[in-house]
């Protein structure tokens, strides 16, 4: 039993705050999303800034009016303001992207493997209105030809959400209630919520000092570069010979050493990110997890890349052909991931799944037993639903997703859907949520939806654009549940509010995207983030369609399974100091600029702990990170609003 009562955070004030975020800050979020390719501070874009602006505005207004927002209300605002924006608005932004694919001369260069006709011409009407439709001359979503694509996208979102929420409830009970994993990043969010709600003098002092440091950091690194680029078009990243300085700032935080290293060790890549807002996250990540994340990243993209580049066997031939001396780290990372590490990670994930099922079988069994035995009222008090309802949500979501995909692509083999849309989401939920609980970062395998199409052997281009369900949201639901418990909020409030705000988010998202699209073509110079990013994304998918068989490699999968099985077996028998298998797995799929930031932050945190004492550091580190993160999100949001306003008046000024 809980020692405290979980309370509701869904009130008129919290609901009004969410409407403010969607209705008033929605345009800012859309503009940031469409323009963010050239913006610094990308980690806070696509909804994050709206969260902090809404939080600070409503907590301050409530305080000025003599009231006080409860931490449960702040929890609802914090967790859902950005989620609602991203989920609802991206549906309609994606419609503009589909219109670009349908009419892009670049995409017309790629041929459908089945018909040898241009791929955009072969995509069905459920993807986007057919070429020549008057919807494109109108340049907006208020056209009957958009009805089917929007309906398909909305239905897919609902079905996937049902299954993911069900899996999220299962894994949350397993990892939050039964195993009580630490979830290292949960205290950041919890401290932000509690500090802004309770306004305890000691916590507010530390929070404000940290926020001021965050502001001082953001002005030269984010604010000035963003205004310079957004208003005047001044580049915000410098490039030296061989070493790329940037990360979106005049002052170098991102340093790519790959050019120099590959002169000595071909194929080896290394980059560092000294952005303070990334480093401070390492304060909360366990040292062993941060260490092995960095080791895993080096093992794959430094030593592993160099090794596979020189081993002359068929499995590595595509990587060896694709490698070009002088590559930047991002290019080297993605090319090697595509040819080597994606297949390796799938095999390694299966090995970790088997180890998880064996090692934690009692905990998994206890989860189902407990959910089955507890009464509805007891489960509701803990923030969970009865097991039959959870399983029904999962079944309806999965079955609906499979049937929907089969209806859209009738020739697609059903066995592939059963593997990737039924079996894989369970596997992914167990592994990635455990990674979130132990290291603070989920173990993600990107492009698994594309792998599903490759494995199926289906040649038609339409399968690449149909909404296939492969899971991936369970870690965020687990994290949310842990934050809810830390703030004494009933997690079910999150899901209730999510669906309650849904119609408002969809209507406003539709109207805002309609307005932005009518203002100017997308892509266009007014929305610079789409000019390169959409062309790159579309071309990337087209290359997968035309070269599918070469990417999926069963032998490399076997290598990954064998190597990780040996590591898991040895680590279970021998006590290796500071070893974290989840940290290693996370590092194998993460670039070194991310893992190095967390590792440096973890080291700095240990140094600070020695200076100020363990007790003080453990009690206040989350407040420090929360203050700096809040300041960064607020500054970037305000900066984006300034840029948007200036651009709106650009013709009259210039």
Residue 5 lies in a domain: no
496: Cα within 13 Å, side-chain hemisphere: 16
Quote the CA–CA distance of 152 and 145 in Å, as a whole number: 13
Phi, psi at residue 246, to the nearest 5°? Answer: 165, -120
pTM: 0.75
Residue 232 lies in a domain: yes
Residue 4 lies in a domain: no
**In 345-402, where do the E strands start and end?**
none
Contact between residue 434 and residue 86 where contact means Cβ atoms under 8 Å apart: no
85-123 CB burial, b ≥16 within 10 A, e <16: bbbbbbbbbebbbbbbbbebeebbebbbbeeeebbbebb
Q: Which residue has the higher pLDDT, 443 or 535?
A: 535
Contact between residue 71 and residue 198 where contact means Cβ atoms under 8 Å apart: yes
- Quote the distance between the C-alpha of residue 570 and its chain's center: 32
pLDDT band, very low/low/confident/very high, at 444 (cuts 50, 70, 90): low
Contact between residue 159 and residue 404 where contact means Cβ atoms under 8 Å apart: yes
Cα distances (Å, whole numbers) of residue 3 to 178, 328, 400, 428, 488: 16, 53, 40, 32, 10
Residue 595 lies in a domain: yes
Domain that holds residue 246: 12-647
Residue 420 lies in a domain: yes
Asked which of 167-176, 244-253, 399-408, 451-460 is least confident by mean pLDDT, the reply is 244-253
Burial of residue 83 (CB within 10 Å: 0-12, 13-18, 19+) is: buried
Phi, psi at residue 404, to the nearest 5°? Answer: -65, -45
Q: Note the pLDDT tens digit of each residue in 325-359.
A: 888 888 888 888 888 888 898 888 888 878 777 77
Classified as helix, coil or strand, 502 is helix
Residue 515 lies in a domain: yes
Q: Note the pLDDT tens digit of each residue in 531-553.
A: 767 777 777 777 777 665 666 77
Residue 206 lies in a domain: yes
Contact between residue 341 and residue 304 where contact means Cβ atoms under 8 Å apart: yes
Whether 169 shows a pLDDT value over 70: the answer reads: yes
Alpha helices in 271-341 (DSSP H): 276-279, 287-298, 305-310, 317-322, 329-336
Phi, psi at residue 353, to the nearest 5°? Answer: -60, -45
pLDDT band, very low/low/confident/very high, at 599 (cuts 50, 70, 90): very high
Q: Note the pLDDT tens digit of each residue in 424-438.
A: 888 888 878 887 887
- Quote the distance between the C-alpha of residue 281 and its chain's center: 16
Indicate the average pLDDT of the chain: 80
Tally of domains in the chain:
1
Residue 6 lies in a domain: no
Q: Note the pLDDT tens digit of each residue in 11-59.
A: 899 899 888 888 877 777 777 677 654 443 333 344 556 777 788 788 8
Among the listed residues 117, 46, 115, the one whose alpha carbon sits nearest the alpha carbon of residue 82? 46
Q: Which residue has the higher pLDDT, 292 or 136?
A: 292
């Amino acid at each position: 039993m809980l020692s405290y009562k979980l309370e509701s955070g869904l009130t008129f004030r919290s609901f009004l705050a969410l409407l403010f975020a969607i209705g008033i800050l929605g345009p800012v979020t859309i503009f940031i999303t469409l323009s963010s390719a050239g913006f610094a501070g990308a980690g806070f874009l696509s909804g994050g800034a709206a969260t902090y602006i809404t939080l600070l505005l409503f907590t301050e207004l409530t305080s000025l009016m003599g009231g006080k927002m409860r931490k449960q209300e702040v929890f609802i605002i914090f967790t859902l303001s950005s989620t609602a924006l991203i989920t609802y608005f991206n549906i309609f932004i994606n419609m503009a992207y589909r219109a670009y694919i349908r009419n892009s001369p670049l995409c017309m260069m790629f041929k459908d493997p089945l018909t040898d006709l241009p791929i955009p011409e072969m995509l069905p009407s459920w993807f986007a209105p057919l070429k020549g439709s008057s919807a494109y001359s109108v340049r907006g979503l208020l056209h009957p030809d958009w009805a089917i694509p929007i309906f398909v996208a909305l239905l897919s979102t609902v079905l996937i959400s049902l299954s993911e929420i069900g899996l999220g409830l299962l894994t949350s009970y397993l990892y939050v209630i039964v195993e009580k994993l630490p979830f290292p990043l949960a205290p950041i969010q919890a401290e932000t919520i509690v500090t802004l709600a309770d306004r305890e003098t000691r916590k507010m002092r530390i929070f404000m000092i940290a926020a001021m440091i965050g502001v001082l950091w953001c002005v030269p690194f984010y604010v000035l570069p963003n205004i310079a680029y957004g208003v005047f078009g001044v580049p915000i990243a410098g490039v030296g010979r061989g070493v790329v300085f940037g990360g979106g700032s005049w002052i170098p935080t991102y340093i790519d050493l790959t050019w120099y290293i590959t002169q000595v060790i071909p194929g080896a890549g290394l980059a560092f990110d000294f952005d303070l807002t990334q480093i401070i996250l390492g304060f909360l990540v366990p040292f062993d997890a941060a260490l092995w994340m960095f080791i895993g990243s080096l093992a794959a993209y430094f030593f592993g890349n160099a090794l596979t580049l020189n081993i002359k066997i068929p499995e590595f031939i595509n990587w060896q052909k694709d490698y070009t001396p002088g590559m930047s780290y991002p290019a080297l990372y993605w090319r090697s991931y595509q040819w080597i590490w994606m297949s390796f990670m799938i095999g390694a994930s299966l090995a970790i799944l088997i180890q998880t099922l064996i090692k934690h079988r009692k905990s998994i069994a206890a989860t189902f037993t407990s959910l089955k035995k507890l009464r509805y009222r007891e489960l509701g008090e803990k923030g969970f639903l009865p097991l039959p309802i959870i399983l029904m949500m999962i079944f309806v979501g999965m079955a609906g997703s499979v049937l929907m995909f089969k209806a859209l692509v009738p020739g697609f083999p059903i066995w592939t859907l059963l593997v990737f849309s039924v079996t894989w989401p369970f596997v992914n939920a167990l592994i990635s949520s455990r990674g979130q609980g132990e290291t603070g970062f989920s173990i993600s395998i990107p492009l698994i939806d594309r792998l599903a199409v490759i494995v199926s052997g289906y040649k038609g281009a339409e399968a690449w654009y149909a909404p296939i369900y492969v899971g991936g949201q369970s870690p965020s639901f687990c994290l949310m549940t842990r934050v809810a418990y830390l703030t004494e909020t009933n997690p079910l409030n999150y899901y209730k509010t999510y669906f309650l705000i849904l119609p408002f988010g969809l209507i406003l998202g539709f109207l805002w995207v309609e307005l932005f699209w009518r203002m100017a073509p997308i892509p266009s110079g007014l929305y610079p983030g789409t000019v390169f990013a959409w062309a790159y994304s579309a071309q990337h998918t087209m290359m997968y369609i035309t070269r599918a068989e070469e990417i999926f490699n069963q032998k490399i999968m076997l290598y990954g399974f064998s190597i990780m099985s040996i590591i898991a077996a040895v680590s279970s028998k021998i006590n290796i100091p500071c070893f974290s298998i989840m940290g290693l797995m996370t590092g194998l799929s993460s670039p070194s600029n991310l893992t190095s930031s967390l590792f440096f932050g973890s080291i700095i945190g240990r140094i600070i702990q020695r200076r100020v004492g363990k007790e003080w550091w453990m009690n206040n580190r989350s407040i420090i990170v929360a203050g700096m993160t809040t300041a960064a999100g607020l500054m970037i949001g305000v900066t984006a609003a300034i840029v948007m306003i200036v651009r709106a008046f650009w013709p009259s000024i210039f």
